[in-house]
Amino acid sequence: MTWWQLSPIVLCAAVIVFLPGYALGRCWGLRGLVAAGAAAPVSVGVTAGMAVLCPVLGLRWSVWPVLAASVLAALGGLAVRRFAPAAFGSRPAAPLRARWTLVVHAGAVLIPAVLLTRGLVRLIGGPDNISQAWDNLFHLNAIRSVLDTGSGSSLTLGELGASDRVHPYPAAWHDLVSLVVQVTGTSIPAAVTAVTIVVAALVWPVSCIFLTTRVTGTRPVPVLLAGGLAAVFGAFPYQLLYFGPLYPFFLAVALLPAVLALVAMAAGVGARHGTPRWLLVLTLVPAAAGLALAHPSEFLALAVFSVPVLVVAIIRYRRHATGARRWIPVALLAGYLAAGAVVWAEVRPSADGSHWQPVQTLSQAIGEVLTVGTMKLGPTWVVLALTVVAAGLALRRQVSWWVLGGYLIAAALYVATSAGKPGRVRSFLAGIWYDDPHRLAAQLPVFAVVLCTIAAAWSCTRLRAAMTLRFPDRARLSAPLVAVLAFVVAAGIGVAGQRSSVNSAIGTGGNVFQRSDMLSPDERALLARLDRTVPIGDTVIGNPWSGASFSYALADRRALILQYGTKVPAKTQFVLDHLPELRTDPAVCAAVRAQRSWFVLDFGGPQYLGMNAHYRAIDTAAVNSGLTVVDHQGAATLYLVTGCRSGR
């Protein structure tokens, strides 16, 4: 598949990610950037929410339940607007002369969309390439499981059949990819690539622009600058795609700015542009649900980053309130903080999973924060320059306190995790992120975009004022010309920002997508033929550490072990241990027959991460007289179990 052939799949993914939420927002009365900014988180909330409800309702997972829920909710919004128009207040339509700003908004998204898509193409290498890193075996097989079982519920995705006990797992990302596969009929790797492009090159910039304009307003200059600056960070989106890959967390971080923007608007500290507060609170419900079902840790991050928002809102409220009412929000905030501390301490992964250690000194971590060149990706100089300007503006109280507070919290979390001493304090702060500095690094750009946009817009304003003073007759610029110049500046900043942490991240990540640590070209070719050699419904015995378990995701033939690092069920372990005795022990053939494990896939050669995991069923395949070779390529061989007396 070529990148041009992937284009319609990317378009389909964009429709799935944006259209339900945008249509709902418009039907309920959201407009402009508010409707666009809330679209993706609301869509994810509706999609992942319906995935949870489908098993309860006895429905198979597909695009139809999502469509039905969206239509019903949209009709509800239209009914409310029809019968209770007063609830929406008086909001005159934008005059025709002002609608050229739609072009500005499109331009603001175009800059990062082009730059980020270009970076992703370089990172991934080809639409069918997969990240050959730890988490991807689970993610791709989980998508196949959603398609096979007809259930995409976050309550049941769990351990993917690796044990008898099912654990919840945030499935929003897997639900989106599965819908793209269903609608387009494309392969899982191509659908993953398409969703990755949509989330990184569209959802993330739109979210950043939405959050920024809650502070700066919707003037063309900051809108365009926010778009350009959304594309200059290696920490996000690139690093999460090759470290892990952390696809669910990647989706959640892309949604976080938009959901935080809704919180700021609902609290009264972000520009609402006439949107009723009750409508913002209502929109927050599916948006926050989408964030939680994308990744719960980012829902908790939202709770933390909302604290400065609430503090500023309370301070503003107390300026006008009188009597006992002045203390009500203070009491509510105290309750919020107390409840949040309890949840923060209890709702987190096990200590066994939080094993990441500090990676640098305190001074190095602070330097990386200032440049957002985190995790040794190298400095982004344009970010450093604008951060210095933003610091000066903060000292002059020209930066919103809630934005500055969020930035300082994100910075403190990263510094404490990447450079802090291991112990209770560090684990309390970062345990919900597995004590992993990569995840904390990805959150810094959320606020860095806003601060750098404020600094860049201020610099442009000062430059224009200086030009007006120096050339009073020549410096008068029309609004369209200002927008064009801002577009050029934003594009220049975006391009300049590619020459630092972005290029470093792409260079590092490209090795993960374009190497053969898990699957060699021969192994990938053999997997591509499994649909012709292995009947539907049969199970393949393979070593997951060799990449053989990708047979499920890439060839739609279930692997006996679907992921590594988990407890193998006893019935599966019996086959793995005793297949060499299939001619002498009738129980072996009975176990093979029960699990329909009639094929053995032996990928000779090195194992992932240099592992030395061995299973007798695979290690003895070449000398097992009860197995017959049915296909091979290079060192990769597929065997059929032919030694059971009664046959299949």
pLDDT in tens, 130-146: 998 889 999 999 999 99
Whole-model pTM above 0.75? yes
Is a pLDDT exceeding 80 seen at residue 531? yes
Amino acid at 254: A
**Alpha helices for 199-246 (secondary structure H):** 204-216, 220-229, 239-242
Dist. CA 342–CA 139, nearest whole Å: 31
Token pair in block for residue 366: 């602070």
**pLDDT at residue 91 in the model:** 63
Is a pLDDT exceeding 50 seen at residue 97? no
Average pLDDT over residues 158-168: 63
Mean pLDDT of the chain: 91
**Cβ distance 562 to 549 under 8 Å?**
yes
Is a pLDDT exceeding 50 seen at residue 96? no
In the block, tokens 């989408």 appear at 290
The H or E element that residue 600 is part of is strand 599-603
**Cβ distance 439 to 359 under 8 Å?**
no
pLDDT in tens, 174-196: 999 999 999 999 999 999 999 99
Of the listed ranges 104-108, 183-187, 602-606, the least confidently predicted one is: 602-606
Which residues, 6 or more positions from 548, have their beta carbon under 8 angstroms from its beta carbon?
523, 540, 542, 559, 601, 602, 603
**pLDDT at residue 483 in the model:** 83
Of the listed ranges 89-98, 204-213, 416-425, the least confidently predicted one is: 89-98
Mapped onto helix, strand or coil, the DSSP state of residue 629 is strand
**pLDDT at residue 461 in the model:** 87
pLDDT in tens, 331-340: 999 999 999 9
pLDDT in tens, 372-408: 999 999 999 999 999 999 999 999 999 999 999 999 9
Is a pLDDT exceeding 60 seen at residue 240? yes
Average pLDDT over residues 19-43: 95
**pLDDT at residue 2 in the model:** 94
Is a pLDDT exceeding 90 seen at residue 629? yes
